[in-house]
Chains A and B, each alone.
Chain A
Amino acid sequence: MNDDDEFKGLSQLNVPLPTPEARRRAVGASLMAFDRAQEAQKKISPADQGAGGTERLMSIVSKLKGLWTMDTRRYLPAGTAALALLILAPLGYQLYSTTALTPAKPTIIGVPPVDHTTLPKGPTGTIEPRPEPAKDGTPPVANTLPAANGAYAGNADKVSALVKTETDQPQTGTAPQASPKPADEERQDEAAVLASVNQSPQPSQVGGLAAPTPEPLAAGKPMPAARDVTSVDTLADADANAPVAAQVAPAAPMAMHESVMVPPPAMAKMSAATMGARAATQVTGDKFQNFAESPQKAVATDPVSTFSIDVDTASYSYVRRALNEGRIPEPDAVRLEEMINYFPYAYPAATSASEPFKPTISVFPTPWNKGTELMEIGIKGYDPPITARKPSNLAFLVDTSGSMDEPDKLPLLQRALGLLVSTLSAKDTVSIVAYAGSAGVVLDPTPASEKSKIMSALDNLSAGGSTAGAEGIELAYQLADEHKTDGNNRVILATDGDFNVGISDPDQLKQFIKQKRQSGIGLSVLGFGEGNLDDETMQTLAQNGDGNASYIDSLSEAQKVLVKEAGSTLDTIAKDVKIQVEFNPATVQSYRLIGYETRALNREDFNNDKVDAGDVGAGHTVTALYEITPVGAAGATPTVDPLRYGQKPAVPQESPAPTLATGQSAELADVKLRYKLPGQDTSKLIEQPVTPAMAVTDIAKASDDARWAAAVAAFGQKLKGSDYAGALSYNQIKTLAAGARGTDPDGYRSEFLNLVSLAGTLSGEAAPTQPVHEKPQPPAVN
């Protein structure tokens, strides 16, 4: 309540009055469109008559399924559109050139989207005005049956009926319509029938009106004729009553002239200007969790660092997309650990499922900061042979809200899931549930061997509407539960950020997912598109569901996440994996964990098996980097001063074993790793000290993987404007990365090099050594 004051200011804005010209232009344009709509209806109607009422209605319904989607913006029934084009193309062009607004819309072509908007397709619909009648799911056929008797007040037929009541009826070309039977062509019939559905709540009103006022309606009817002359003529014909003609006639030419006379260049200019203005202020609307970078910590006071591993890679895909579109991504969108973990690393893999990890540790000089060193901790999960892979039971929960109706969303999603399905075997089961828009079970649990059935179910998904598909998520879990296997049971939520999955309270949703995870069904999230993306919720849900969140921006990314890394995405080999590093104050002065800010854990959480942490899938690699300042490092910026008083007493307390074994005192740190095997509740520990032998003094001697991780970290830090980024230029980062590219069989690393160049160009930092291929360097950038 008291919070309400925050937005109180919003009621204050004084909206300026619209200018009379703009108003006239708009009204004129709308009247033109109105005429088009009426005329299109009239012209098309006589084409095809005579089918029986019931039959036609049935055929409408089935025909709609194949030929129509509710989105009038993009799809038109081919035949009708062609006919309408033939008849109306010149008129359409005229309107097009005078409104300069929405060239592709049927309004302009002249097809009456009247009908489109009311098609009885149920909640799948997406149309400009959200279809209310569809919501309750009342079968439109039932409604329309009585209407077919002619007792309805559908658009054209109502007009026809009214026309018929007139005594003198000289209109040409409308005679067939005046027949009492609704014997029009199918399309016409749809319009009429559907219009009657729409108007059903107020039939008495319509009827009541119709009887006493035949003239205006009759007069209105001939109006659609495109030329003023015609309309005036017909008006005069229709009713000899001069005042009527006088009243209506001026309106028509006015509308015509107003809209025709608007000089198109002026409109275009205005649009260009406003478009430009928008470009500068445009923000993506995507949501990211805010976080501060982990600070430098003194080993004397904080010798232990604990975090949960994170195998997500969504951030890198998002960053890549932003850069390719010519934007520097929001700082919070750049999560270093996800950037680093995007790439495959050639760490030696563990050999058995019972001890699924083997940490690889190396220490080498920091490329962006003289005097500090990077400590790289790499782990690679056990990768079971393909034959040993457990059956998967996947329930896709697919967002079909209206906002998914963009090429990089639902269509990409369909292809992406198609890719995933193609990798599954007969042991695996797939089911599909749609939520928002067309809600409900799209595909009951089906063995993955029936690929064509699954594919056609995927193909039939269509985006539309914003109706809350209430129990979407529960439905998906229910299906997953029905066919639970001893292997991998998982709900895969694919969305562009609409988490209206049926449980609207986010905490409740989290709880629900957590609960289901405990019962053995995980959740992974695939993010699509942008503008609506809610990265934070995506991450949170996936974390609660023991799954990962991936951002799919292209088919090749889908290939990477869902096919190449299908194992790691789907087959969990260890869960709740935590890493704890204890630094040796004798050798390390301070340290800083790079990335993992959103994954930090308390020191005591490490041994607490109740505390949830990240999961590792088959063959997954995870890399963590620490920037450490060795004791007495020359040239290091001492970011944390040693304590004058606190240190001495602290040491004996913290380490009660004062006599360290030889070699132990020279160690830099001790790395501990805790994990649970799938299905177990107690964790196991892997421990590995970091010895001086693991350190190299020249970065050139570090492994390719180590240098690569360092380059990615440097890039991420620079992109997000990190305080610790140092003075490396994009060009230097690129050089560093290029030297560490290795074989790069899938081209991920080469792609990264291009991104670095792109970022250099976009940020205004020249990248002279190599021309940027994707974008010719615009002269504007200095």
Chain B
Amino acid sequence: MPEVQGGVVDAAALGAADVGTLIALAQGGDRRAFGTLVEQHYDLIFRTAYKWSGNRADAEDIAQEVCVKLATALASFDGRSAFATWLYRVTLNAVRDLQRAKARRGRNVQALTIVSPEDQLPDQEDAAAAGELWMAVRKLPEKQRDAVLLVYAEDLSHAAAATIMGIKEATVSWHIFEAKRALKGLL
């Protein structure tokens, strides 16, 4: 619970308030609580987006998209799962949406471009994120990729990953198994 001073929660107290409180306040329309909540979770969102997309520009796009979405989607968060779990799901959906939208547009662009965008040098960070394993994992089908990254990159249990992906635990294991099989030659 935030500290209460004469009926006013001050900014410091908001900053220290636990997530549940912030969510409740934000759901009730408290702008500052919402802002604080987004601030607090921006890093998590960005990190996830970066791991999934592999470059800063996309990660920033995705993170901003998620933040905007939170403004309306937060009302549907019901506390049944942990906020972080829920946030993962929103983020992964945003990753998927962005990538699909780009894939659709990209195909035609690709057929007509003279200079391959591949020629652009990635910046250093992106180069590090573009390790062979990472590249290979990101190219997996969405579900396999999500399962592998949640379990190995985010270090979650199969059960937690299953909750985030909205599928059964056994299915997560199966996706990972499939991913291993698909990448056999590479690993």
Q: Which residues of A contact B113 (CB under 8 A)?
A: 276, 279, 780
Question: How far does the Cβ of B41 sit from chain A's closest Cβ, in whole Å?
Answer: 10
Residue of A nearest to B133 (CB): A9
Interface residues of A in 271-309 (CB under 8 A from B): 271, 273-283, 285-287
State whether A18 touches B118 (Cβ < 8 A).
Answer: no
Interface residues of A in 4-39 (CB under 8 A from B): 4, 6-11, 13-19, 22-23, 25-27, 29-38
State whether A271 touches B61 (Cβ < 8 A).
Answer: yes
Q: Which residues of A contact B75 (CB under 8 A)?
A: 37, 112, 114-115, 117-118, 155, 191, 195, 198
Interface residues of B in 132-159 (CB under 8 A from A): 133-134, 137, 139-142, 148-149, 151-153, 155
- Is A99 in contact with chain B by the CB < 8 A criterion? yes
Q: Which residues of A contact B64 (CB under 8 A)?
A: 22, 25-26, 29-30, 99, 101
Q: Which residues of A contact B26 (CB under 8 A)?
A: 34
- Docked pose: A197 CA to B78 CA in angstroms: 8
Stretch touching chain B among A48-56, A446-454, A463-471: A463-471
Q: Which residues of B contact A25 (CB under 8 A)?
A: 64
Residue of A nearest to B106 (CB): A279
State whether B63 touches A155 (Cβ < 8 A).
Answer: no
State whether B55 touches A248 (Cβ < 8 A).
Answer: no
- Is B16 in contact with chain A by the CB < 8 A criterion? no
- Docked pose: A112 CA to B2 CA in angstroms: 27
Interface string of A460-483 (1 = CB under 8 A from B): 000001111000000000000000
- Docked pose: A287 CA to B178 CA in angstroms: 11
- Is A86 in contact with chain B by the CB < 8 A criterion? no
State whether B174 touches A214 (Cβ < 8 A).
Answer: no
Q: Of A36, A127, A286, which is within 8 A of B76 by CB?
A: A127
- Docked pose: A202 CA to B20 CA in angstroms: 9
Question: How far does the Cβ of B62 sit from chain A's closest Cβ, in whole Å?
Answer: 9
State whether A159 touches B28 (Cβ < 8 A).
Answer: yes
- Is A113 in contact with chain B by the CB < 8 A criterion? yes
Q: Of B6, B76, B107, B134, which is within 8 A of A327 by CB?
A: B107
Q: Of A35, A191, A212, A466, which is within 8 A of B165 by CB?
A: A466
Interface residues of A in 509-567 (CB under 8 A from B): 531-532, 534
- Residue of A23, A156, A200, A206 with highest tally of chain B CB at under 10 A: A23
Interface string of A318-343 (1 = CB under 8 A from B): 00000001110000000000000000
Q: Which residues of A contact B58 (CB under 8 A)?
A: 274, 278
Interface size in chain B (residues, C-beta < 8 A):
108
State whether B38 touches A287 (Cβ < 8 A).
Answer: no
State whether B67 touches A504 (Cβ < 8 A).
Answer: no
- Docked pose: A465 CA to B167 CA in angstroms: 10
- Docked pose: A278 CA to B55 CA in angstroms: 10
- Docked pose: A369 CA to B28 CA in angstroms: 76
Question: How far does the Cβ of A773 sit from chain B's closest Cβ, in whole Å?
Answer: 16
Residue of A nearest to B42 (CB): A23
State whether A277 touches B120 (Cβ < 8 A).
Answer: yes
Residue of B nearest to A327 (CB): B107
Question: How far does the Cβ of B136 sit from chain A's closest Cβ, in whole Å?
Answer: 10
Question: How far does the Cβ of A132 sit from chain B's closest Cβ, in whole Å?
Answer: 5
Q: Which residues of A contact B76 (CB under 8 A)?
A: 114, 117-118, 127, 129, 131, 133, 198
Question: How far does the Cβ of B27 sit from chain A's closest Cβ, in whole Å?
Answer: 7
12 contacts between A and B (CB under 8 A): A10-B149, A15-B51, A26-B42, A27-B38, A30-B64, A31-B71, A34-B71, A130-B93, A155-B28, A198-B78, A270-B61, A778-B111
Chain A to chain B: the 4 pairs with minimum beta-carbon distance, closest first: A326-B111, A279-B106, A33-B71, A30-B67
Given contacts A15-B51, A158-B29, A206-B28, 12 further A-B contacts (CB under 8 A): A10-B148, A15-B129, A18-B63, A34-B26, A102-B65, A105-B69, A159-B29, A162-B28, A212-B7, A277-B55, A327-B111, A504-B168
